[in-house]
């Protein structure tokens, strides 16, 4: 593993706090991440390659790596480091704005995996975009802040249970595979991190699930009947669906489990 401080100095770079640049500098953690990612001979999307440390490790095992980096200052270091790996490609763009179909085309329009040490400031929007994408993502290995990791696997009634938890668990089995202290990064973040894996359950989701779950959690304190009717669902249809599922009519979104959300979405399909 290259020395992060030396690399930054050699290319005249400094870590940008506003872009969430905490570079992984722990060789053992890097190895466990690549092992947990289960990417041998598979196409991989990496978000935020930064100085390319993880990208190089992925390129050695994956069939190809398409990496999306917002920071154009990384062009030179990434070009030099990835030169020996013709199976890599870097797209300089904001992942939240990039067209996912374009990435899919570059990955050969095959089921693919996602690996990322996510920038902390946009963990939720990036993860939400990934778990709600209709593209065939077979698995993900994500490094996130420890507290953010809880949101992916939170059960009903937990403080952090919400749209991301439901949409993740509907489609993936979630596991926390590693916890990392701030000393695994340069510069050190303020909090611990965790590596989580998401493995596809191979299920087809009701196409109204995302919108329904989003609407349900739009008012955490309101009853589901109220939040869903504000989103355009008919009150009597909601009441009928709840009664069919033996769920009380005054229920709130936080008490509904993933399977119940799936059933509700099917029952309320227009
Ligand atoms: N992969 C490197 C590593 O593990 O050391 C860097 C990880 S660093 C936590 C996050 C990376 O995401 C940075 O390179 C940052 O520039 C990039 N980034 C931040 N916002 C982004 C966005 N909206 N789209 C794509 N990349 C982004």
Query: What is the secondary structure of 65-111 as a DSSP string?
Result: EEEEES-GGGHHHHHHHHTT-TTEEEEES-TTTS-HHHHHHHTTSS-
* Residue 94: per-residue pLDDT: 98
Structure token pair of residue 145: 């802040």
Cα 47 to ligand 1 centroid, rounded to whole Å = 6
**Residue 232: phi, psi to the nearest 5?**
105, -5
Is ligand 1 within 6 A of the CB of residue 53?
yes
Give residue 80's pLDDT band: very low, low, confident or very high (50, 70, 90): very high
Please report the atom of ligand 1 found closest to the CA of residue 98: 24
Please report the atom of ligand 1 found closest to the CA of residue 55: 1
What Rg do the C-alpha atoms of the chain give, in angstroms?
Answer: 20
Please report the atom of ligand 1 found closest to the CA of residue 23: 5
User: Under 8 Å CB-to-CB from 41, ≥6 apart: which residues?
Assistant: 61, 62, 63
Q: Tell which phi-psi region holds residue 208, choosing left (phi > 0), alpha (psi between -120 and 50) or beta.
A: alpha
Average pLDDT rounded to a whole number, residues 35-57: 97
Average pLDDT rounded to a whole number, residues 119-128: 97
Is ligand 1 within 6 A of the CB of residue 141?
no
**CB-count burial class (<10 Å; 0-12, 13-18, 19+) for 174:** middle
Cα 69 to ligand 1 centroid, rounded to whole Å = 6
* Residue 124: per-residue pLDDT: 97
Please report the atom of ligand 1 found closest to the CA of residue 48: 12
* Residue 220: per-residue pLDDT: 80
Is ligand 1 within 6 A of the CB of residue 22?
yes
Structure token pair of residue 208: 């109204």
Is ligand 1 within 6 A of the CB of residue 47?
yes
Q: In angstroms, rounded to a whole number, what is the distance separating the alpha carbons of residues 9 and 1? A: 16
In this structure, the number of other CB atoms found within 10 A of the CB of residue 8 comes to 18
Residue among 111, 114, 67 at smallest CA distance from 89: 67
Structure token pair of residue 228: 């869903």
Is ligand 1 within 6 A of the CB of residue 20?
yes
Provide the CB-side half-sphere exposure for 220 (13 A, CA): 9
pLDDT digits (tens, 9 = 90+) for 130-182: 999 999 999 999 999 999 999 999 999 999 999 999 999 999 999 999 999 99
Is ligand 1 within 6 A of the CB of residue 112?
no
Q: Are 64 and 43 in contact (CB under 8 A)?
A: yes
Q: In angstroms, rounded to a whole number, what is the distance separating the alpha carbons of residues 166 and 246? A: 20
Q: Is 111 helix (H, G, I), strand (E, B) or coil?
A: coil
Q: Whose CA is nearest to atom 11 of ligand 1?
A: 48
Average pLDDT rounded to a whole number, residues 14-19: 97
Cα 94 to ligand 1 centroid, rounded to whole Å = 10
User: Under 8 Å CB-to-CB from 55, ≥6 apart: which residues?
Assistant: 46, 49, 65, 67, 78, 81, 82, 88, 90
Cα 13 to ligand 1 centroid, rounded to whole Å = 14
Residue among 49, 50, 69 at smallest CA distance from 11: 50
Is ligand 1 within 6 A of the CB of residue 184?
no
Is ligand 1 within 6 A of the CB of residue 256?
no
Is ligand 1 within 6 A of the CB of residue 117?
yes
Q: Are 187 and 24 in contact (CB under 8 A)?
A: no
Entry pTM: 0.96
């Amino acid at each position: 593993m290259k020395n992060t401080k030396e690399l930054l100095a050699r290319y005249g770079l400094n870590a940008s706090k506003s872009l969430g640049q905490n570079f992984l500098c722990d060789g053992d953690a890097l190895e466990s991440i690549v092992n947990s990612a289960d990417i041998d001979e598979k196409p991989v999307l990496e978000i935020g390659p930064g100085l390319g440390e993880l990208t190089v490790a992925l390129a050695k095992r994956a069939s190809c790596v398409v990496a999306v980096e917002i920071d154009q200052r990384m062009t030179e270091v990434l070009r030099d480091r990835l030169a020996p790996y013709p199976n890599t490609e870097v797209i300089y763009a904001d992942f939240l704005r990039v067209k996912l179909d374009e990435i899919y085309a570059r990955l050969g329009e095959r089921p693919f995996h996602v690996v990322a040490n996510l920038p902390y400031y946009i963990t939720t929007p990036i993860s939400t975009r990934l778990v709600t994408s209709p593209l065939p993502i077979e698995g993900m290995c994500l490094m996130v802040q420890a507290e953010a990791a809880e949101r992916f696997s939170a059960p009903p009634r937990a403080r952090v249970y919400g749209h991301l938890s439901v949409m993740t668990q509907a489609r993936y089995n979630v596991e926390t595979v590693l916890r990392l202290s701030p000393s695994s990064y340069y510069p050190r973040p303020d909090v611990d991190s965790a590596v989580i894996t998401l493995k596809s359950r191979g299920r087809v989701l009701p196409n109204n699930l995302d919108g329904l779950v989003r609407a349900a959690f739009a008012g955490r304190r309101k009853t589901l009947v109220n939040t869903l009717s504000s989103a355009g669902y008919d009150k009597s249809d909601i009441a009928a669906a709840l009664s069919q599922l033996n769920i009380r009519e005054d229920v709130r979104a936080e008490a509904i489990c993933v399977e119940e959300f799936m059933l509700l979405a099917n029952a309320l399909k227009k």
